[in-house]
């Protein structure tokens, strides 16, 4: 979706309007974490080990639905005041609330599909959501202006509004597709299970809020310090890291329920260690590949040259996201040992680094400080999580291999950045990394292929 929509948005929106689009989704991310209050991860934990699985599912679904409706009621009463509080156009704010409520209500049905090993249905519903967003975006931002299609009250001066409308419609369609779960399931609410879910989930919520700060504080601060145009360019170039983000998101969707479901297996820790190694290999290969062909990706994804002033952030953001992915992989130790408060502490540590570094350094060195803050925060979180994890839930990670691949990938990436986009040299760098992986891992790769 990002790959298709970022070129459309950066072609049709000024950098200041793209900044508004970014701000909308910053608030969406923040309120999404607040409204789900860690219930999704808590559901995975207790669903995997409970004998009353349907009761866990029903309790979690009812709790999120009730709190979402209560949230909507409060917002309707104090609509104007809340819109002013978050400094959003009231129309944008109302669209945001609609998206948030619908997405919150379907969070547990989506989690249920993942926990019960039904990736086809999960992916099908997600694809319908994505296609709805993409089709409506092209209809509103491209087809209507290009072919002069008549549309009631169409405002060509406020195109960003239609991005949010497309998202609301897609969330509504998703809700309709998953609504049968509200009728097929025997609704039963267990106070005891709810208390367990809440105790486990609240530290996850705090960690999630801190994660949102890590990811979005820069995009919230930049408009005030450097202006909307700079923030728009920064946010547009940030999207070039979309491939790393997709890789990490795909990994998280499959890994979280997998880790919980396999926790009781005799060789679980060895399995987690192997997963980590190959995660780092794939992530490192992606880092080198994107940097080697950065000019190509830049032209494909962010075609408007007015955005390219912030292109230097891309290698830093890519590495930061890879560190984040490793951190997510490591995070299994505090989730499996029910020490979720440590996840909260780690995320608060990262948020503190992000806030302090951005506030101090953006005025001194500009928007590049925001990228460095992200890398610094995720890098330190990754290291501290590894140290704590080895104390509370030691996993035999192949540290020598992981660090070797990661550092070699960083070295090759630095070389690729200094070849003046010489694709012959950069292609050789990518092949050197892949060749090293095949040479060192050939025996294990053969075993995996035989399985």
> Using one digit for the tens of pLDDT, what is the confidence trace for 68-112?
999 999 999 999 998 888 778 888 899 999 999 999 999 999 999
| Three-state DSSP state, 2 | helix
Residue 2 has pLDDT above 70, yes or no: no
Q: How far apart are CA 312 and CA 322, in angstroms?
A: 17
207 lies in some domain: no
Cα–Cα distances (Å) from 24 to 45, 191, 220, 246, 451, in that order, read 31, 35, 10, 20, 46
278 lies in some domain: yes
pLDDT band at 283 (very low <50, low <70, confident <90, very high): very high
233 lies in some domain: yes
- 103 vs 215, higher pLDDT: 103
Section 158-185 average pLDDT: 91
> Using one digit for the tens of pLDDT, what is the confidence trace for 6-63?
788 888 888 778 787 778 888 888 889 899 988 988 898 888 777 788 899 999 999 9
Range of the domain at 309: 222-451
Q: How many CA atoms lie within 13 A of 448 on its CB side?
A: 10
Cα–Cα distances (Å) from 81 to 13, 85, 87, in that order, read 28, 6, 10
* CA proximity to 288, closest of 399, 401, 436: 436
108 lies in some domain: no
Residues 290-314 as b/e (b if ≥16 CB within 10 A, e otherwise) read bbbbbeebbeebbebeebbebbebb
Contact 159, 141 (CB under 8 A): yes
* Model pLDDT, residue 451: 66
130 lies in some domain: no
The pTM for the full model equals 0.76
67 lies in some domain: no
In DSSP notation, 88-156 reads: --HHHHHHHHHHHHHHHHTHHHHHHHHHTT-HHHHHHHHHHHHHHHHHHHHIIIIIHHHHT---TT--T
| H/E run at residue 25 | helix 15-36
Q: How many domains does the chain have?
A: 1
Could you give the angle at which helices 313-330 and 242-261 cross, rounded to 10 degrees?
A: 0
Residue 237 has pLDDT above 90, yes or no: no
Residue 423 has pLDDT above 80, yes or no: yes
- 214 vs 410, higher pLDDT: 410
32 lies in some domain: no
Q: How far apart are CA 327 and CA 406, in angstroms?
A: 14
8 lies in some domain: no
DSSP-based helix, strand, coil % in the chain, nearest 5 = 85, 0, 15
What dihedral angle (degrees, nearest 10) is formed by the CA atoms of 324, 327, 329, 332? -140
What dihedral angle (degrees, nearest 10) is formed by the CA atoms of 378, 384, 390, 391? -150
């Amino acid at each position: 979706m990002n790959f298709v929509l970022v070129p459309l948005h950066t072609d049709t929106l000024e950098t200041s309007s793209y900044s508004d689009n970014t701000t909308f989704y910053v608030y969406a991310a923040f309120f999404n974490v607040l409204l789900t209050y860690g219930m999704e991860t808590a559901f995975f934990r207790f669903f995997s080990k409970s004998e009353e699985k349907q009761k866990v599912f029903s309790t979690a679904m009812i709790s999120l639905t009730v709190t979402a409706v209560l949230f909507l009621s409060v917002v309707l009463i104090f609509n104007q005041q809340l819109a002013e509080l978050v400094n959003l156009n009231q129309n944008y704010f109302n669209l945001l609330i609609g998206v948030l409520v619908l997405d919150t209500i379907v969070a547990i049905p989506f989690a249920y599909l993942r926990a019960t090993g039904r990736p086809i249905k999960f992916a099908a519903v997600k694809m319908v959501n994505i296609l709805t967003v993409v089709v409506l975006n092209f209809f509103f931002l491209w087809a209507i202006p290009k072919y002069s299609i008549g549309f009631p009250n169409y405002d060509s001066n406020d195109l960003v509004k239609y991005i949010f409308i497309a998202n609301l419609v897609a969330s509504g369609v998703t809700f309709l597709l998953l609504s049968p779960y509200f009728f097929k399931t025997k609704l039963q609410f267990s106070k005891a299970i709810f208390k367990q879910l809440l105790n486990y989930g609240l530290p996850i919520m705090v960690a999630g809020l801190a994660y949102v700060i890590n990811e979005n504080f820069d995009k919230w601060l930049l408009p005030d310090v450097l202006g909307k145009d700079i923030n728009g360019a920064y946010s547009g170039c940030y999207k070039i890291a979309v491939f790393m983000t997709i890789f990490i998101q795909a990994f998280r969707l499959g890994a979280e329920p997998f880790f919980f479901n396999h926790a009781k297996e005799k060789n679980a820790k060895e399995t987690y260690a192997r997963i980590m190694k190959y995660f780092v290999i794939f992530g490192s290969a992606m880092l080198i590949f994107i940097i080697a062909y950065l000019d190509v990706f830049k032209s494909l994804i962010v075609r408007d040259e007015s955005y390219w002033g912030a292109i230097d952030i891309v290698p830093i953001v890519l590495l930061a996201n890879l560190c984040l992915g490793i951190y997510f992989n490591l995070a299994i130790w505090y989730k499996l040992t029910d020490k979720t408060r440590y996840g909260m502490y780690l995320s608060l540590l990262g948020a503190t680094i992000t806030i302090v570094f951005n506030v101090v350094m953006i005025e001194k060195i500009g928007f590049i400080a925001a990228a460095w803050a992200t890398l610094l925060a995720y890098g330190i979180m990754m290291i501290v999580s590894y140290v704590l994890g080895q104390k509370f839930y030691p996993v035999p990670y192949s540290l020598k291999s992981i660090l070797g691949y990661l550092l070699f990938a960083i070295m090759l990436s630095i070389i690729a950045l200094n070849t003046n986009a010489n694709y012959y040299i950069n292609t050789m760098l990518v092949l050197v990394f892949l060749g090293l992986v095949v040479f060192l891992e050939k025996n294990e790769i053969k075993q995996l292929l035989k399985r």
